[in-house]
Structure 1
Amino acid sequence: MRLWKGLYMNAYENVTNAMPRVRGVLLAYNTNVDGLKYLETNDLEERIERVGRERVFELVEKPPGRIRNLEELFAGILWSITHGKAAEWFVESDEVREYLMEWGWDELRMGGQAGIMANLLGGVYRVPVVVHVPQNTETQAGLFMDGPIYVPRFYDSAFELVHPREAVEDGEDLIHYIYEFPRGFRVFEVEAPRENRFIANADDYNARVYMRREFREHFKKIAERVDLAIISGLHVLKERYSDGSTYRDVLDRVASQLRVLNRLGVKSHFEFAYTASEAVREGIIEMLGNFTSVGLNEVELASVMEIVGDSTLAEEVLNGDLFATIDAMNLLMDETGIERIHFHTYGHYMALTRYRGEHVRDALLFAALAAAAKAMHGNLERLPQVRDALSVPTNERAFPLVEALEREMDMENGIVDMTDRQLAFVPTKIVASPKSTVGIGDTISSSAILGEFARTL
């Protein structure tokens, strides 16, 4: 316990001292508005009863992965509660969209991986960021924090970077409806094993990974102003669209922009999210070798193993087997040639890298502090909030895993020196009653890659 306390304190100082060295970070492609609803048992049970409890529970057993009617909406919510896992399904019904709007929300927040990371990196860490915003409405722009956060725009035919509030435009608000529940939340006979949320995605722009003209035509100008790029939002791609285009068209555009980043020497991180379509998942995995780094959790890593062809390993990863997870990370690195894999799950994080250094472990520790601070406050507004998370208890349930790694792999101070790779392992900080879970994964991954990269400058 004393060892980790000291490592956490040093990591905070090391990472925060290094952050000002970063010239800029590119964040693309998904920014939207999150409408958060904190679920209440009586309200949810009444709504489920009205649409048909028996049918909803049938769908929980065979989740459709999309929403075409109210039964599927509530099946998705119940699936997340039952498993204590996050899920995101696209809403394909206008009737359901009207229902969601009428059901409403308790609060509006910045949404989308790129948007959440922009507020964290630019608004809290004060690192300059350039963020892609598909529809920069007044509502959307108003959710961006003060700080060095920029969007590209044309002004009198000239290209410039300005704060989103200086580039407001007409358009529809892109709303993702997020249904949060705490650990122990009960609905009928179901009890949530841990806190999490279900997302009903009613956003047609991000579902197509829409790229603004400014990004398409002036991507090189943007890339020349940054040292690091974090790409996300590809998980909602469909295999085919009504206009005849496919997910391949989008991936080709992303690959083209990746080539620009690589030519300029910009490090790139891909933030994975669960991708329902196996074809889209396979296409993304084929691209991973063009990135420097990838971040994923146990559900996402298991889904990758299914594509790679090891269903047994996928099941072991889902069941929380530590050494199976390490095997899966090594297999993914072998298959793609990627330099860095960041794995985050409840209670501990790991990073497998083709390079060595304590800065990798320190970045994970800093990310754990940021995640704990976000869980405590819901939204992060100031860097000292991250430092305050030093007081949050370190997860003692991860200590047997530490001992196993020390015994089986000679881990020392959270680092395993492998033949041609390094594995870093850290127990996280656990907040007993988190205010919100939305965006914690994005907070973890962006803090870790930024913290690690800043230490190399």
Structure 2
Amino acid sequence: MMTKEIKKQWLQNYKTAPDQLAKMSKINGLISAFNANIDAVIKLSGKDIEKLIHDFKIDQKQILSKNITTINTKEDAFRGLLKCFTKGIAEEWLIEDKEIFQWLQNNLGYDKLQMGGQGGIVANVMAVCGVNNVFVHCASLGEEQASLFLDLPNLVSVDENGTVNKAKNIKRSNDIPLIHWIIEFDKGDKITVDGTAFTCPKSNRFIATYDPLNFILHIDETFASCLSNESINYDYIILSGYQMLQQELSDKTLGTDRIDASIKTLEKWVNSNKNHVLHLEMASTQDVIIRKNLLDNLATKVDSLGFNERELIDILEVISEDDLAKECIENTNSVNLFKGMQKIFEYTNCPRLQLHMFGLYVTLQQKSFKVTPKQNLDGMQLAAVIAAAKAGTGAIDDYETLLWAKDLEVSDVGLNELQALSNLVEADSDIKTLMKTGIVSNDKYDLIAIPTILIDKPKTLVGMGDTISSISLVGAR
């Protein structure tokens, strides 16, 4: 079948998206936990940075020193910024000194505030899609954080008195703002520090983060207790935020202990409402001990696990699949990544795995999984449409925008990856179904894969993976 005919077939396949979106209003409820924060975005030119250094009498020689990757002084903040500016790289440094956080808050400012953290992003997405009663957990929910939630009656959280209210209206007076400064800069810009001139080789960003609660996976006990009540009805629990943990935490506790504490909370939620699907979004978990613990102690308990290409490779590296991980790094394609999915499938025995890679989404699930392959296909197609709408318009804050991309064709990149995957999994079969229907089933598993819609010049890619994973699952009705 020629590419033109295949694209026509997938355009027809994607016609289910509007109906799938409408079905999301029939979902009783969803918990999005655990991380929400404030992203303060600001673009600085080389001249802007030079002016800040001059105005605040920053020691320029200290800015040029090395071997520090945390922020305890004003100089540290500018050191991290200069490193990323001069190398065109992205790094995130933690602000460990509260006074420096307050200094940045008073003097750096921002161009805009936006929702940060997978938990907060997923909550906004689920609410605008029409899910009834989206319960969002916030380690801190002061006025600034509350302002970033959509003004929707179905998007709720718990105030300090244990009362469920619209998230946007909750202002827990004693909660501190958890701010991730995202400082952007442009390729070709120039800066001079201590007499040395630098040119930025690539547009990128430096992130300075003050988030003492999410970095220890703090769980608000009032929220946790409220959601353990059997009168609270929900069909899904979407988990994220574990990637911020390190094994040795600033409060002298262990990251693995925080995982154990979260599992106890989850057990209470699960026991109070057994009709649910529990999904873990893996995210980029840098601490190897934390990553391995999550796989062994949480991924084995959830119904669904989501990841992108890099996160899949990270998982392979901690389950002793080093050769396959290396192969995936050298040739990051659907064939190698599917081989990796199979290894993770065997290791965790998790009923459902979903990979979102560039141009292609792939779901691998057990034959007994509670969502059928066709339902999964429809959910993934809806996710692809909404993700394209987000990339193309820059925001999906209203219902009307969600289907902006519903009539766009799938990408050549995705079709090529789908064809390669088809050649692998259907090599011994006379019946070839994957390219046309996106579904292959055998006696071991169901495989669902779809080519996605790609936007040439996306206005945003922030939170794209969280959007894809959550809608693929929750939109599968």
TM range (shorter): 0.7 to 0.9
Which secondary structure does the structure 1 equivalent of 2:294 belong to? helix
Alignment of 1:106-185 (within 5 A): 106-147=111-152, 148-153=154-159, 155=161, 159-170=162-173, 171-179=175-183, 185=187
Larger deviation, residues 197-206 vs 216-225: 216-225
Q: Is 1:223–1:266's contact at 8 Å kept on the other side of the alignment?
A: no
CA contact (8 A) 1:219 1:257 kept: no
Deviation at 1:259, TM superposition (A): 2.2
Letter in 2 for 1:431: I
Deviations 1:125-181 (A, max 9, x none): 3432111122221111122112201112354xxx43111244312232111122457
The one-letter code of the counterpart of 1:202 is: Y
- The yes-or-no answer on 1:204 pairing with 2:212 is yes
Q: TM-score, normalised by structure 1?
A: 0.85
Q: CA shift at 1:294, angstroms? A: 1.2
Q: Letter of the aligned partner of 2:474 in structure 1?
A: L
Higher helix proportion (structure 1 or 2): 1
Structure 1: runs of 5 or more not aligned: none
Which residue of structure 2 lines up, in the alignment, with residue 403 of structure 1?
Answer: 419
Within-5 A mapping of 1:377-416: 377-410=393-426, 411-412=434-435, 413-416=437-440
Q: Could you say if the C-alpha distance between residues 368 and 198 of structure 1 is closer, same or farther in structure 2, counting changes exceeding 3 Å?
A: farther
Alpha-carbon separation, structure 2, partners of 1:72 and 1:299: 24
Give the aligned residue type for 1:291. Answer: V
2:163 aligned partner, one-letter code: E
State the 1:451 CA deviation.
0.7
1:240 aligns with 2:251: no
Shift of 1:67: 5.3
TM-aligned CA deviation for residue 265 of structure 1: 3.5
Aligned pairs for 1:224-373 within 5 A: 224-263=232-271, 264-286=274-296, 287-319=298-330, 320-355=332-367, 356-373=372-389
When structure 1 is superposed on structure 2, of 384-393 and 305-314 the one drifting more is: 384-393
CA distance 1:67–1:268, shift in 2 (3 Å): farther
Q: Does structure 2 retain, via aligned residues, the 8 Å contact 1:295–1:445? A: yes
State the match for 2:470 in structure 1. Answer: 446
Match of 2:8 in 1: 2
Q: Residue type matched to 1:290 in 2?
A: K
| 8 Å Cα contact 1:197-1:437 kept in structure 2 | no
Q: How many residues align?
A: 435
Structure 1 position 95, deviation (Å): 7.5
User: Are 2:20 and 1:27 aligned?
Assistant: no
Distance 1:427 1:288 in 2: 27
Q: Post-superposition shift, 1:379?
A: 2.0
Check whether the contact 1:347–1:398 (CA below 8 A) recurs between aligned residues: yes
3-state DSSP of counterpart to 2:125: helix
The amino acid of 2:268's aligned partner reads: V
Q: Which amino acid aligns with 2:314?
A: S
Aligned-pair CA distance for 1:55: 6.1
Partners of 1:261 and 1:267 within 8 A in 2: no
CA distance in 1, matches of 2:363, 2:62: 43
Distance of 2:172 and 2:326 partners within structure 1 = 46
- Report if aligned partners of 1:77, 1:179 keep a CA contact under 8 Å in 2: no
TM, length-normalised to structure 2: 0.82
**Alpha carbons of 1:409 and 1:243: their partners in 2 closer, same or farther (altered >3 Å)?**
closer
* Structure 2 unaligned spans of 5+: 1-6, 54-58, 190-198, 427-433
Q: 1:47 to 1:441 in 2, by over 3 A?
A: farther
Q: CA deviation at 1:223?
A: 8.3
> In 2, Cα distance between the equivalents of 1:37 and 1:427?
34
Aligned counterpart in structure 2 of residue 90 of structure 1, from 79, 82, 94 = 94
Structure 1 residue 190: Cα displacement? 2.8
Amino acid at match of 2:342: N
- AA matched with 2:366: R
C-alpha change, 1:190 and 1:245, in structure 2 (3 Å) is same
Aligned pair in 2 of structure 1 residues 433, 95: CA closer, same or farther (>3 Å)? farther
Q: Distance in 2 between matches of 1:39 and 1:347?
A: 32
Kept in 2, the 8 Å contact 1:197–1:438? The answer is: no
The letter for the 2-side match of 1:274 is S
Offset of residue 25 of structure 1: 0.1
What's the offset of the Cα at 1:326?
0.6
CA spacing shift, 1:181–1:296, aligned 2, 3 Å: farther
Matched position secondary structure for 2:176:
coil
- Partner of 1:204, secondary structure, is coil
Is the contact made by 1:235 and 1:273 (CA closer than 8 Å) also made in structure 2? yes
The residue identity in structure 2 corresponding to 1:271 is: E
Shift of 1:372: 1.2
Q: Distance in 1 between matches of 2:318 and 2:455?
A: 34
Secondary structure, in 3 states, of the residue corresponding to 1:269? strand
- Work out which of the residue numbers 191, 194, 207 in structure 1 matches 2:202: 191
Whole-angstrom CA distance in 1 between matches of 2:63 and 2:163: 56
Counterpart in the other structure of 1:104? 109
